[in-house]
Amino acid sequence: MSFTPGYLLQTLTLALLLSSVQASQNVSLPHISSSPTNASQVIDPRLASFSMEFSYLPTFGGNKTHPNVLTQELMQRLVERTGVGPDVRPGGITIDSSIYSPNASALELDMSPSGGIYRTTYGPAWFESLDVFSDSSPIVVTVNLGNDTISIARDQLATHIKTIGWSRIRALELGNEADHYAGNQRPSTWGSADYTAQYLGWTSFLTRNLSLPTHIFQAAGFADFWSVKEVIGEGITTTNTVKVFSQHTYQYSTCDPARNAIATLPNLVNHRNITSFLDQWKPHIAAAKQAGAEFVVGEYNSVSCSGKENVTNTFGQALWLADTVLYGAVIDISRLYLHQGATLVLQSSTQANTPGFSWYDQWYPTTSDRFGDPHAGPSFVALLLITEAVGSSTKSQIALIPTPAFPQLAVYAIWDPTARPSRDGPARIAILNLATRNVTATPEQVDEESVVLDLGGYVRKGKGRSATVKRMTSTGLDATDAGAATWAGQSYESGKANGTLVVEGLSAGKVTVKGSEGVLVFF
Ligand SMILES: *[C@@H]1O[C@H](CO)[C@@H](O)[C@H](O)[C@H]1NC(C)=O
Ligand SMILES: *[C@@H]1O[C@H](CO)[C@@H](O)[C@H](O)[C@H]1NC(C)=O
Ligand SMILES: *[C@@H]1O[C@H](CO)[C@@H](O)[C@H](O)[C@H]1NC(C)=O
Ligand SMILES: *[C@@H]1O[C@H](CO)[C@@H](O)[C@H](O)[C@H]1NC(C)=O
Ligand SMILES: *[C@@H]1O[C@H](CO)[C@@H](O)[C@H](O)[C@H]1NC(C)=O
Ligand SMILES: *[C@@H]1O[C@H](CO)[C@@H](O)[C@H](O)[C@H]1NC(C)=O
Ligand SMILES: *[C@@H]1O[C@H](CO)[C@@H](O)[C@H](O)[C@H]1NC(C)=O
Ligand SMILES: *[C@@H]1O[C@H](CO)[C@@H](O)[C@H](O)[C@H]1NC(C)=O
Ligand SMILES: *[C@@H]1O[C@H](CO)[C@@H](O)[C@H](O)[C@H]1NC(C)=O
Ligand SMILES: *[C@@H]1O[C@H](CO)[C@@H](O)[C@H](O)[C@H]1NC(C)=O
């Protein structure tokens, strides 16, 4: 054997590889049960759905002659993975100053000098924006409750039902965050019992007037002050109108300086923070179930008042999103509607943001000063991991596999009898390593935050059986470069896969996951 330089180089590389493996943490998992004995309800393939600020829907959707091509492509990427389009909820604060007029153009905004929208008038052409979404995307129809004028809501509902058709309607929703009306669109004494009474009165009139089916409303939709349990206690389910209960969840905020100060990447991308925040809805999820209704997060994002620069437009938002949605599924949240839009200057007089697309948007559908040409941001890839984890079956169930020695590791097992027979083990395992790996991390830091998991025991028995691995990664947690954020080796800034598909295998049964990275293992 001669020691050629090539052989030396190989030996050196091998030594380097070994030393990096040694620094990584070996994670041993508790046994994952073969069948979904302790898992979630069956996951809705539309688990990852969207809410879009009502007055910006035309910006995201375009219209019949000018459909927004980026939105169309990105939605198609999701349809390819789950077989159906996500729900779309045109809603948000602007719904409560909206009015339908048959003579209006698509969208007519009355704005304050600083750009605040205080009235949104929309006409028949507004509905063309919905055409950009797949026919299999159900629509949540939200109408104006804030104005306190039932004829406005009635006319909106009648028009939406006639234009969209029942086959595409998920549910009807009255108003947005009614717990914020007091002292604003209602007297300062306005409380949850007043909301419940108005809900019952209006739904009773609307049911008769529009011949509505029973169990068709998405109720509650509160942001901060009232709860699903509270309105159930007040009798909101007594008339059989509620189909779904909704709660809005924003874990952090830039609406005021105190909350802005803690809206940081390390706080946001933290598995304990994410799970303890969502756990507060467990009693309300249980109460909704007991009342025979679904529980959804009808509007959410990471940081309210339109996100935060260098926090929610980073790859960190992808990790936050993947962990939030998968954990939401674990605790039986049926769907989560990720809010997209732009800064609403009337929302808060002390907010940090100025007008423009929200820093938390998954994509920027038109050219803007802030983000340049239309493109998807670095967090879009999380939706690909999520939709592939959920799959196109309508039979998947999910559980969180505890790894208490690694608090920033999130391991989710997904059972799916259409991909792997029941009682034969999980069909997929998603692993998110939320430990921080910044763009500037040294190789030593990268090694220290990396984890190695042995999944060999879950590979299907039989000759030639193996598992495949897809990886969601970027140059670092704080990377804002959309081109660097990849799913299975490909980036999606244009809405289409860019680059060569990279599907890995396990290495001697093991998979390595760096900090600020996620993988989905298919068995
Ligand atoms: C992880 O396990 C490998 C062998 O599988 C071992 O060489 C390495 O030292 C272990 N790493 C740590 C940090 O214990
Ligand atoms: C099932 O879940 C409960 C509650 O989360 C937990 O205490 C229990 O250990 C789990 N059982 C199995 C077999 O995983
Ligand atoms: C469709 O969008 C284009 C481009 O924004 C606009 O010029 C046109 O007026 C719109 N059509 C309707 C019916 O609103
Ligand atoms: C719409 O226009 C028609 C005439 O074209 C008019 O009769 C009707 O009053 C208008 N409706 C509204 C709501 O302005
Ligand atoms: C209700 O809507 C009408 C018609 O758009 C408008 O004139 C009025 O200011 C609105 N009232 C409130 C409280 O929003
Ligand atoms: C529904 O309400 C509208 C306006 O308030 C009224 O014109 C119409 O006659 C009502 N229809 C029914 C079936 O009650
Ligand atoms: C979130 O995580 C951080 C650690 O990064 C911790 O200091 C903080 O208290 C947690 N909670 C909130 C609400 O930020
Ligand atoms: C965001 O990061 C960029 C690049 O590091 C920097 O130029 C910019 O000032 C930062 N903005 C804020 C608000 O921190
Ligand atoms: C990573 O970057 C974020 C955002 O710039 C910063 O807050 C954090 O302290 C950094 N963490 C490490 C471990 O370098
Ligand atoms: C594809 O990726 C390459 C390399 O990052 C980049 O230069 C190019 O602009 C991307 N193409 C599209 C259409 O995004």
Tokens linked to 384? 């690909």
Cβ contact 332:295 at 8 Å? yes
Q: Do 263 and 409 sit in the same domain of this protein?
A: no
How far does Cα 269 stand from its chain's mean position?
A: 15
Q: Of 472, 433, 438, which Cα lies nearest the Cα of 453?
A: 433
| Residue 346 counted as domain residue | yes
Q: How far is the CA of 293 from the centre of ligand 4 (A)?
A: 40
List, for residues 340-355, the tens digit of each pLDDT value.
999 877 666 676 776 7
| Residue 455 counted as domain residue | yes
Higher pLDDT, 297 or 348: 297
**Number of domains into which the chain is organized:** 2
List, for residues 30-87, the tens digit of each pLDDT value.
999 999 989 999 999 999 999 999 999 999 999 999 999 999 999 999 999 999 999 9
Using the 3D structure, point to which of 362, 390, 418 is the last residue of a domain: 390
Tokens linked to 304? 């309210």
User: For residue 185, what is the DSSP state?
Assistant: T
Cβ contact 118:346 at 8 Å? yes
Domain span holding position 406: 25-39+394-522
Cβ contact 46:133 at 8 Å? no
| Residue 517 counted as domain residue | yes
With residue 453 as reference, give the H or E element that holds it: strand 451-454
Q: Do 152 and 107 sit in the same domain of this protein?
A: yes
Cβ-proximal residues to 344 (8 Å cutoff; 6+ apart), any chain: 53, 92, 93, 94, 116, 117, 306
Q: Do 253 and 360 sit in the same domain of this protein?
A: yes
Cβ-proximal residues to 188 (8 Å cutoff; 6+ apart), any chain: 182
Q: SS3 sequence, 28-49?
A: CCCCCCCCCCCCCCCCCCCCEE
Q: Is the CB of 151 under 6 A from ligand 4?
A: no
Bin 5: left if φ > 0, else alpha if -120 < ψ < 50, else beta: alpha
Cβ contact 388:520 at 8 Å? yes
| Residue 417 counted as domain residue | yes
- Distance between CA 277 and CA 169 in Å, rounded? 30
Tokens linked to 17? 């590889």
List, for residues 505-515, the tens digit of each pLDDT value.
999 999 999 99
Q: Do 352 and 416 sit in the same domain of this protein?
A: no
Ordered alpha helix ranges (H), 253-349: 257-262, 265-268, 271-279, 282-290, 316-330
Question: The CATH number of the domain where 265 resides is what?
Answer: 3.20.20.80
Backbone angles phi, psi at 200, to 5 degrees: -65, -40
List, for residues 433-481, the tens digit of each pLDDT value.
999 999 999 999 999 999 999 999 999 988 888 899 999 999 999 999 9
For residues 257-283, give the mean pLDDT.
98
Q: Do 95 and 33 sit in the same domain of this protein?
A: no
Q: Which residues line ligand 8 (CB under 6 A)?
A: 309-310
Q: Do 247 and 300 sit in the same domain of this protein?
A: yes
- Distance between CA 53 and CA 19 in Å, rounded? 50
Q: Do 425 and 380 sit in the same domain of this protein?
A: no
| Residue 95 counted as domain residue | yes
Question: The CATH number of the domain where 472 resides is what?
Answer: 2.60.40.1180
- For ligand 10, atom 6: residue with the closest CA: 483
Is beta strand 363-364 parallel, antiparallel or unpaired with respect to 517-522?
unpaired
Using the 3D structure, point to which of 390, 415, 441 is the last residue of a domain: 390
Instruction: Write down the pLDDT at residue 348.
Output: 65
Res. 7 pLDDT band, cuts 50 70 90: very low
Tokens linked to 317? 């938002």
Instruction: Write down the pLDDT at residue 422.
Output: 80
One-letter amino acid of 121: T
Instruction: Write down the pLDDT at residue 347.
Output: 66
Q: Do 76 and 174 sit in the same domain of this protein?
A: yes
pLDDT tops 70 at residue 9: no
For residues 383-391, give the mean pLDDT.
98
- Distance between CA 108 and CA 123 in Å, rounded? 9
Q: Is the CB of 212 under 6 A from ligand 6?
A: no
Q: Do 376 and 474 sit in the same domain of this protein?
A: no
- Distance between CA 84 and CA 188 in Å, rounded? 43
List, for residues 115-159, the tens digit of each pLDDT value.
778 899 999 999 999 999 999 999 999 999 999 999 999 999 999
Length of the chain in terms of residues written = 523
| Residue 227 counted as domain residue | yes
| Residue 447 counted as domain residue | yes
- For ligand 2, atom 12: residue with the closest CA: 38
Q: How far is the CA of 168 from the centre of ligand 6 (A)?
A: 24
Cβ contact 114:163 at 8 Å? no
Q: Do 317 and 463 sit in the same domain of this protein?
A: no
Q: Do 203 and 283 sit in the same domain of this protein?
A: yes
What is the best residue among 101, 103, 108, 151 to mutate for testing ligand 4's pocket, by most ligand atoms within 8 Å of CB?
Answer: 103
- For ligand 7, atom 6: residue with the closest CA: 267
Percent of the chain whose predicted confidence (pLDDT) is above 70: 95
User: For residue 206, what is the DSSP state?
Assistant: H
Percent of the chain whose predicted confidence (pLDDT) is above 90: 89
Cβ contact 132:81 at 8 Å? no
| Residue 11 counted as domain residue | no
- Distance between CA 493 and CA 496 in Å, rounded? 7
With residue 294 as reference, give the H or E element that holds it: strand 294-304
Tokens linked to 497? 């896969």
Burial profile 14-48: b = 16 or more Cβ within 10 angstroms, e = fewer: eeeeeeeeeebbebebeebbeebeebbbebbbbbb
Q: Is the CB of 493 under 6 A from ligand 10?
A: yes
Q: Which residue has the tokens 């979904």?
A: 36
Using the 3D structure, point to which of 356, 390, 424 is the last residue of a domain: 390
Q: Do 311 and 433 sit in the same domain of this protein?
A: no
Instruction: Write down the pLDDT at residue 22.
Output: 60
| Dihedral angle sign, alpha carbons of residues 228, 232, 236, 237 | positive
pLDDT tops 80 at residue 258: yes
